[in-house]
Amino acid sequence: MALLVIAEHANSELKAATLNVVTAAKEIGGEIHVLVAGSNAKPAAEAAAKVAGVSKVLLADAPIYEHRLAEDLAALVVKLAPGYSHVLAPATTSGKNFLPRVAALLDVAQISDISAVVSPDTFVRPIYAGNALATVQSKDATKIITVRGTGFAAADATGGSAGIETIEAAPSSGLSTFVSQELSKSERPELTSARVIISGGRGMQNGENFKLLEEVADKLGAAVGASRAAVDAGFVPNDYQVGQTGKIVAPELYVAVGISGAIQHLAGMKDSKVIVAINKDEEAPIFQIADYGVVGDLFKLVPELSAELDKVK
């Protein structure tokens, strides 16, 4: 039987998170179909059709899917699910929002946040903030899965030539309506797909001081992240939060500045390839996992880092 991947997209474009899910689907094995549910989402469907390994794209193009409200999107996926062995979505706020609804309507236990595929019914998923890895086997007929992006490489965005089949929208539930959104605007790469990330914590003292990190980020082509403490204090918006209950990231280089290294923060970044920590407290737990620690005042060291990068570039 085939697998259904629910695309993460912004109507006019396919989001990178979809590509990691396609790889997870490949590891499970079977023909891969991608559902693009959106409004004026043809560009996203066309991008999905080009992804290597995808054999069919289903496009449900209707105004009710513009913001992918969980109630309406779940109803559509439930209708399609009987034709598939597995239904997969990224473990993004969108995937986490609608997929459990699909699972419950199918009377299936969802397998959240898988980081590895063992066999078509057995998967590895982190629990307790990633301090333990559980290998779980599903007894349900349909496997409903959210995929942790850092566990799977991105599939090639090109090389495929799948057909696009237009499908009917499901009736609107009328349960919820979109009102507004406040999206953070940034020229920088997205946190979850950035090659380099520089994050600030409570040690930054205020939002204004994040400019110091932005200066370094611009030189490294990095995304800027934060600890929960920095978000709670209002230094930066909520979508900067890295951690157990924020974004899970695994860039090639993660620079933690003024972050102590609580387990909830480590849960979101400890799979980064190289970790740098800048902290004035030499006992800070972040140093235990850092490949390169620098002890000192960030207000002296971060400008120094910025200047030093000019020299090597």
Partner 1 sequence: MKVLVAVKRVVDYNVKIRVKADKTGVETANVKFSMNPFDEIAVEQAVRLKEAGTATEVVVVSIGPAQAQETIRTALAMGADRGIHVQTDAEVQPLAVAKLLKAIVANENPTLVIVGKQAIDDDCSQTGQMLAALLGWSQGTFASKVDLKDGTVAVTREVDGGLETVDLKLPAIVTTDLRLNEPRYASLPNIMKAKKKPIDATTAEALGVDIASRLITLKVEEPAKRQGGKKVGSIAELVDKLKNEARVI
Ligand X SMILES: Cc1cc2nc3c(=O)[nH]c(=O)nc-3n(C[C@H](O)[C@H](O)[C@H](O)COP(=O)(O)OP(=O)(O)OC[C@H]3O[C@@H](n4cnc5c(N)ncnc54)[C@H](O)[C@@H]3O)c2cc1C
* Residue 245 DSSP code: T
Q: With contact defined as beta carbons under 8 Å apart, do 33 and 4 qualify?
A: yes
Residue 230's binding partner out of ligand X, partner 1, none, with CB under 5 to 8 Å set by partner kind:
ligand X
Q: Please, which residue, 192 or 241, has the CB nearer to ligand X? A: 241
Residue 145's binding partner out of partner 1, ligand X, none, with CB under 5 to 8 Å set by partner kind:
none
Residue 18's binding partner out of partner 1, ligand X, none, with CB under 5 to 8 Å set by partner kind:
none
Per-residue contact track with ligand X, 287 to 306, x per CB under 6 A?
----------xxx-------
Q: Please, which residue, 33 or 143, has the CB nearer to partner 1? A: 143
- Give CA–CA dist 303/123, Å, rounded: 44
Q: Please, which residue, 12 or 206, has the CB nearer to ligand X? A: 206
- Give CA–CA dist 260/207, Å, rounded: 18
- Give CA–CA dist 45/59, Å, rounded: 6
- Give CA–CA dist 131/97, Å, rounded: 24
- Give CA–CA dist 149/249, Å, rounded: 8
Residue 93: how many CB atoms within 10 A of its CB?
Answer: 10
Among 280, 289, 293, 294, binds ligand X (CB under 6 A): 280
Residue 58: how many CB atoms within 10 A of its CB?
Answer: 20
Among 20, 94, 260, 272, binds ligand X (CB under 6 A): 260
* Cα dihedral across residues 220, 201, 270, 111: positive or negative: negative
DSSP output for 22-74: HHHHHHH-S-EEEEEEESS-HHHHHHHHHSTTEEEEEEEE-GGGTTT-HHHHH
Q: With contact defined as beta carbons under 8 Å apart, do 70 and 98 qualify?
A: yes
Shortest Cβ distance from residue 109 to partner 1 (Å)? 4
Q: Contact region for ligand X (CB under 6 A) — 14-22, 51-59, 81-89, 236-244?
A: 236-244
Residue 81's binding partner out of ligand X, partner 1, none, with CB under 5 to 8 Å set by partner kind:
none
- Give CA–CA dist 39/61, Å, rounded: 5
Q: Which helix (H) or strand (E) element contains residue 71? A: helix 70-80
Residue 284's binding partner out of partner 1, ligand X, none, with CB under 5 to 8 Å set by partner kind:
ligand X
Shortest Cβ distance from residue 83 to partner 1 (Å)? 20
Q: With contact defined as beta carbons under 8 Å apart, do 216 and 305 qualify?
A: yes
Shortest Cβ distance from residue 63 to partner 1 (Å)? 15
Residue 196's binding partner out of partner 1, ligand X, none, with CB under 5 to 8 Å set by partner kind:
partner 1
Q: Is 227 in the site for ligand X (CB under 6 A)?
A: yes
Q: Please, which residue, 162 or 247, has the CB nearer to partner 1? A: 247
Among 14, 32, 259, 290, binds ligand X (CB under 6 A): 259
Site for ligand X, rule CB under 6 A: 201-203, 227-230, 241-246, 258-260, 262, 264-265, 268, 279-281, 284, 297-299
